[in-house]
Amino acid sequence: SVDVDFGALRRAALEAAPELRIPPLVEQRHFLGAMGIETRVNALLRRASSVDQQREILASAQRLIDSPGMGSAYKALAMLHADIADAPGFPPADATDDTSRREQ
């Protein structure tokens, strides 16, 4: 893992490409939930070759989404070209709304 300075990253990106739209950061657990982690875990569970493997899959998925833990400690960031409406798993980023450009 890395301690990312998201504010500095946002500022640098917007300086290089002012047309970018940057929605607010989201916690890893929310992002993974929106991306369908539950569906993926269920598919892996169906293909597991043993109960032990199923337990390992469940424990691994839980570790990714636990709060407190990785689910809330890790964040996800999206940077969108002005022509892209929204990023899956992120709240809408209105190009005219300056709050999407402020650091969190």
Tell me the pLDDT tens digit for each residue of 9-44: 999 999 999 999 999 999 999 999 999 999 999 999
Tokens of 38: 């539950």
Tokens of 71: 């689910």
Region 39-58: mean pLDDT is 98
Q: Which tens digit of pLDDT belongs to each residue from 58-95? A: 999 999 999 999 999 999 999 999 899 899 999 987 63
| DSSP label at residue 91 | -
Query: Cα 69 to the chain's mean position, in Å?
Result: 15
Beta strands in the chain (DSSP E): 26-27, 75-76
Judge contact between 28 and 64, C-beta under 8 A.
Answer: yes
Residue burial 47-82, b: 16+ Cβ < 10 Å; e: rest: eeeeeeebeebeeebeebbeeeebbeebebbbbbee
